[in-house]
Structure 1
């Protein structure tokens, strides 16, 4: 039996309010779940620690025979199926990515889906000067990701089938029906909510050919190896729940983040080829991302002001378009 590594946190409900009951249950029982899972691997675990993260619960561990692995346990159904398909598509297209060792969606071993992937060696510290160079490198990789054609919209329900009939439906299900939007009436007036949500229609968001998207772009979801004269992407990790759709969704997130890494990524990616139709769609996707983010921050008791102001500004801009 694997030894205990003090992975559980019984105080998590007070530390992180606003998260799901499943999230709390996993964190409170993490030692037990970890032991149950790794005992089936027939390896000796010599080290384990929980990694920082918002919604996924990730544990780095080392084993004898010598391996470095990541165990991921998800509060959400189908999330690790999505992640596994995302990683597999990256590997198939020669994009740096972890290898999926195992994923289990049966809920028979522990009451949640889990996945085991290879740990990718990377630099965990970097200087402020490196950030812009990192974004420049990632922008080129993101372009390659956005060239990978997929066969459905949003989130897969199996290796060969997808949950949604259209991209607009995928966005509405994942974002407008999100539990984080339950607080929207405390942030926006009913009239403003109706005005914002009126833009998120199949007509406005329609695309015919979906492509692979990262869906959770940001400096924390890309691993880098940093040398004195060069920087390379070691791995693209942690996709969002929607991995197939409009590449402009990733761009909308980056523009809204408006930080050094995001801006450098966009500059390297290049947006000079956008048609007027795509520019309009990008504005709507920015509104959707900002609207959802403001509600998410409010739910987890963080200040949503930056994103409520951005949402209102984007709405005014769209109404003039």
Structure 2
């Protein structure tokens, strides 16, 4: 059904999956009693492989991961199902690795292109407003805890600042901050952000954890319509302001940032305390994004940006 795909580089788990992809996909879809007529590799990277399986009447997507347990994504698809939100329709999943040596999720195929491929700023803003409204709706749902569940569905009892600190640590942000900002400025930065009381959160809500133009599938005719938010992040239970700050990172188009905020605020403006907290969260995530992904020019400018931002808090 699907020819083996050659993986690049030395990523052995990924290469093993790609080398036997056709066999694996056939085993995954067999219990669904489908009659596949074709299978197409949609995407593959170091953490995820997606295959579209087509019958005469429908398309489904098999997403599998040689590196990630996929527990966060499965939780989000389940908890938001039936809430009239733009998410893929969950069909089946197995995180136990009992059938295959990696977890997989099967969901309905969603037509559309990533919003990151749309150049018309008016269309981007329209789509971003829809995303902002969907985010606000999802944030009304309580989560069992902060962070993410285990593959067995259990949540740990952890504080929000601990989850944030671990998230930053996995990206090497803490170690890099001292080198790029200098120890004194880095200490002031941490004290004003992740260690500050304004970023404490008592009640975890369902969040996407990776809102970005590339993670929104849209269709375009006379207007843009968001079909699905895909690829959630590692954190799916937490402070809604984390989602809002991620979605308005400076590296995203201004029309996207503006539309997100407009859509999010349509159901009611943020309170004064939320504005203050959002300012600190945006500083934290802007710096983290730059330290993780920024080029030499962006890294050189970061100390000045942090100093200016701290002065405005």
Establish whether TM, by shorter chain, passes 0.5: yes
| Alignment of 1:220 onto 2:220 | no
Residue of 244, 258, 261 corresponding to 1:263 = 258
Write the deviation string for residues 100-148 of structure 1: whole angstroms up to 9, x where unpaired.
2232223344443322222112256645142122122222222212222
Q: Distance in 2 between matches of 1:66 and 1:311?
A: 56
The question of 1:309 aligning with 2:301 is answered: yes
Q: Which runs of 5+ in 1 are unaligned?
A: 14-23
Farther off after superposition, 252-261 or 83-92:
252-261
1:95-106 matches, within 5 Å, as 95-106=85-96
1:39 alignment counterpart: 26
Structure 2 Cα separation of the partners of residues 117 and 3 of structure 1:
18
Q: Give the aligned partner of residue 27 of structure 1.
A: 14
The answer as to 2:280 corresponding to 1:284 is yes
SS at match of 1:92: coil
Is 2:44 the partner of 1:57? no
| TM-score (structure 2 length as normaliser) | 0.82
* Alignment gaps of 5+ in structure 2: none
In structure 2, C-alpha distance between the alignment counterparts of 1:282 and 1:3, rounded to whole Å: 46
Alpha-carbon contact 1:95-1:141 (below 8 Å) kept: yes
**Which sits farther off after the overlay, 203-212 or 60-69?**
60-69
Alignment CA distance shift 1:267-1:225 (3 Å): same
Residue of structure 2 in register with 1:275 after alignment: 271
Distance 1:256 1:61, change over 3 A: closer
CA gap of 1:304–1:220, structure 2 versus 1, over 3 A, is farther
Q: 1:176 aligns with which of 142, 166, 169?
A: 169
User: How far apart, in 1, do the equivalents of 2:285 and 2:74 lie?
Assistant: 24
Q: Please give the alpha-carbon distance, in whole angstroms, between the structure 1 residues aligned to 2:171 and 2:201.
A: 22
Q: Which shifted more, 29-38 or 244-253? A: 29-38
Q: Residues of 1 paired with 2:297 and 2:94: CA distance?
A: 39
Mapped to 2, the partners of 1:308 and 1:288 lie a distance apart of: 17
| Structure-2 residue corresponding to 1:190 | 183
Deviation per CA, 1:208-234, whole angstroms, max 9, x where unpaired? 222221211122111223232x43321
Summarize the Cα distance change of 1:200–1:123 in structure 2 as closer, same or farther, 3 Å threshold: closer
Alignment CA distance shift 1:292-1:9 (3 Å): same
- 59-68 or 113-122, which deviates more: 59-68
Equivalent residue, structure 2, for 1:74: 65
Match of 2:310 among 287, 302, 318: 318
CA distance in 2, matches of 1:102, 1:307: 43
Root-mean-square deviation (Å): 3.0
Q: Distance in 1 between matches of 2:75 and 2:245?
A: 23
Question: Could you give the per-residue CA deviations for residues 64-118 of structure 1, whole angstroms, max 9, x where no partner exists?
Answer: 465422232335444x111011012221322121122232223344443322222
The residue correspondences of 1:74-153 to structure 2 (distance < 5 A) are 74-78=65-69, 80-123=70-113, 126-128=118-120, 129-153=122-146
Q: Which residue in 1 is equivalent to 2:155?
A: 162
Question: Whole-Å Cα distance in 2 between the matches of residues 106 and 160 of structure 1?
Answer: 11
Task: Tell me the equivalent position of 1:9.
Answer: 7
Q: Does the CA contact (< 8 Å) of 1:139 and 1:266 recur in 2?
A: yes
